[in-house]
Amino acid sequence: MRVAYQGMPGAYSEAAVLQRWGSSAEPVPRPYLEDVFDAVEAGEAEAGLVPVENTIEGSITRTSDLLNERSLTVLGETVFRVVHCLIANPGVEPGDIKRVYSHPQALGQTRAYLAAHGYEPVNHFDTAGAVKMIRDEGLRDAAAVASRRAAEIYGLNVLAEGIETNRENYTRFLSVGRGAEQATGRDKTSLAFTVDHRPGTLIAALRALADRRLNLTKIESRPYPGRPWEYVFFIDFEGHRDDPVSVDALRELSAYAKSLKVLGSYPRA
Q: What is the pLDDT of residues 27-75, one digit of tens each?
A: 999 999 999 999 999 999 999 999 999 999 999 999 999 999 999 999 9
Give residue 16's pLDDT. 98
| Average pLDDT of the chain, as a whole number | 96
- Residue 192 neighbours by CB distance under 10 Å: 20
φ, ψ of residue 150 in degrees (nearest 5): -65, -40
Distance CA 68, CA 259 (A): 11
Summarize pLDDT for 172-193 with one digit per residue, the tens: 999 999 999 999 999 999 999 9
| Domain residue extents for the chain | 2-81+169-177, 85-161, 187-267
> At 38, which amino acid appears?
D
Report whether pLDDT(260) > 90: yes
pLDDT digits (tens, 9 = 90+) for 71-106: 999 999 999 999 999 999 999 999 999 999 999 999
- Decide yes or no: CATH 3.30.590.20 for domain 2-81+169-177: no
Residue 198 pLDDT grade (very low, low, confident, very high; cuts 50, 70, 90)? confident
What integer is the mean pLDDT of 140-159? 98
What is the pLDDT at residue 204? 93
The CATH architecture that domain 187-267 belongs to is: 2-Layer Sandwich (3.30)
- Confidence class for position 197, pLDDT limits 50, 70, 90: confident
Backbone angles phi, psi at 115, to 5 degrees: -65, -40
- The pLDDT value recorded for residue 114 is 98
pLDDT surpasses 90 at 253: yes
Strand ranges across the sheet with 157-161 = 120-123, 99-102, 142-146, 85-88, 157-161
pLDDT at 109 over 90: yes
| 142-177 burial code (b ≥16 CB/10 A, e <16) | bbbbbbebbbebbebeebbeebbbeeebebbbbbbb
Select from 3.40.605.10, 3.40.190.10, 3.30.450.20, 3.40.50.2300 the CATH code of 85-161.
3.40.190.10
CA distance 148 to 156: 9
Tell me, yes or no, if the two domains 2-81+169-177 and 187-267 fold the same way: no
262 sits in which H/E element:
strand 257-267
Task: Tell me how far apart the alpha carbons of residues 207 and 195 are, in angstroms, rounded to a whole number.
Answer: 13
Q: Is the pLDDT of residue 225 over 90?
A: no
Name the residue type at position 8.
M
Catalytic center residues: 171, 173
pLDDT cut 70: percent of the chain above it: 100
What value does the CA radius of gyration of the chain take, rounded to a whole number of Å? 20
